[in-house]
Every structure is written in C-alpha cells, then in structure tokens.
Amino acid sequence: MGHKGFFTDTTICIGCKACEVACKQWNQLPEDGLEMTGMSYDNTGHLGASTWRHVAFVERPVPMPGHTVGLVDFSWLMSSDVCKHCQRAGCLEACPTGAIIRTEFDTVYVQPDVCNGCGYCVSACPFGVIDRREDDGRAWKCTLCYDRLGEGMTPACAKACPTASIQYGDVDELRERARRRVEQLHERGLGEAYLYGADPENQPGTGGLNAFFLLVDKPEVYNLPPDPVVPTMKGKESWAMAGWGALGMAALALGAVLLGRGSARE
C-alpha cells in the first residue's frame, strides 16, 4: 500500500476553508458553533474532536519578502492544520485498549467502537490534535479519510483544495516534491521557506510526520511545537528523575532521624 500522507504548502493557501467544509461533509462531523473567535477570519479556533482540518489566519505586523506595495507592514500567513499521522505516534503508544492502530497506509486511525474515552491519547499528543467529543467522551481525529483510501480515492480535504495547497500521495514522493518547491521559493527570493516535519532526522521526537508542512516563519507562529516529542521517549529520564528524587527523600529522612537521635542524647 505504501506510506500515504499530506504535504501542505502554506504559501499557496488562500484561506477559503474548502478543506474544512469537505472534511465535515464527508465525515459527517457536527458543527462548531457560529461564534466569532476574534482571531482574524478564523471561526473554528483549533483542531478538535469535530474539527479535523483547521485553517489558521496568522496576522503578522511584517511584510512578506518581496512584497513592498500596499500593506508593507502587514501580512497574512494561512495554514490548513491537520493530524500529523506521526511515524512515532504518542496517541497510539498511550492507548491502553488498542483502539488506536496504524493502518496498511501507515496512517494513525482511532477505532471508535474500541475507544473507551480514557483520554490518555489527548495528553500524549505533542501537537494537541486529538480530543474527546463532549456527547460520548470518545476520542476523535483525522482518519486521513481511511474509508476513501480503501477505494483508491483522494482524501476529501485534498480533493476540495482549489490551489493544491493540500497535496496527497506517497510520503516519499511528496517529500521530493516539497524539497523542489522549497528550492523554487528560495530561487524566487523567499529564503525563509523550509519544511516542517518532512525529515525524520530533524524531528526525532516523532520520527518524522506523514503530514508535513512548508512554512515561512517559526513553527510557533503557526501554533506548531518547535521540537515535538512523544511522552514515551522521555520515560527513561522520568524514571531516572524519580529515582534521584526518592534517594533525596531517603537521605533527608535519614538525616532527620540521625539529627533527632543526636538531640535526644544531649
């Protein structure tokens, strides 16, 4: 089947939200309410149990390189965020019931009929992607349209994107395409362009992402962690710190006992 994933080129996202609508329509997801968030034209705010694609509108008080006409002191960065389907997925490693699996397409999928709503996956995701739905407590996130992939179809969001900002395909081929795109942008003077999550060596905390991004500013600007790490990778450090803490408490207790004996003799 091969490794399937997304390459999202944020430089050509126009913020139309067609991906959000297509995702909700195909997956029959509930609406998020019609309240304005105050975050530019963003009315969904963040990814969640009923929002599997989220288009962010990042307003910056700086111009885009090469754009000196018009709003020289302002620029928009638009980005369609999604589950990263990590090579080393924190949600999958934390799930105690086996509800979260890796599919034959190398994507990460939550089986709703197995999920018991414990929420361990929510705290284990370094990207804050997965969440529990209020009505039944079960965890939900992007499935990379697993049902469509089985029929040889393109995921709904990529199919609906009018500018090819969201591209679907074999991950290795997408990485090559993404690298060529970065080179092209550098030649055009956009030296800030780089790939986020495409190279496993540059993101060892997750082993690389099957859904990666082309960005032109720091990850934090896009609400992405600069160095995401799955919690299990810190397990040895945590146990070591707990051990040192226990030794410290034992030393304090022993010191208190000896001090008490010395005071009693006096």
In angstroms, the Cα distances linking 187 to 10, 110, 180, 182, 212 are 17, 41, 11, 9, 22
Is 17 marked as a binding-site residue? no
Is 30 marked as a binding-site residue? no
Q: Give the H/E segment covering residue 254.
A: helix 235-265
Is 83 marked as a binding-site residue? yes
Residue 187: what residue type? Answer: E
Could you tell me which residues come within 8 angstroms of residue 136 by beta carbon, excluding any fewer than 6 positions away? 117
3-state helix, strand, coil in the chain (%, to 5): 35, 20, 45
Integer Cα distance of 101 and 11 in angstroms: 32
Closest Cα partner for 111 from 102, 124, 119, 120? 102
Is 162 marked as a binding-site residue? no
Is 95 marked as a binding-site residue? yes
The β-bridge relationship of strands 4-9 and 211-215 is parallel
Is 86 marked as a binding-site residue? yes
Is 224 marked as a binding-site residue? no
Is 104 marked as a binding-site residue? no
Is 121 marked as a binding-site residue? yes
Is 161 marked as a binding-site residue? yes
Is 65 marked as a binding-site residue? no
Contact 146, 155 (CB under 8 A): no
The stretches of 28-119 forming alpha helices (DSSP H) are: 90-94
Q: Which residues are annotated as a binding site?
A: 13, 16, 19, 23, 83, 86, 91, 95, 115, 118, 121, 125, 142, 145, 157, 161
Q: Which residues are annotated as a binding site for [4Fe-4S] cluster?
A: 13, 16, 19, 23, 83, 86, 91, 95, 115, 118, 121, 125, 142, 145, 157, 161
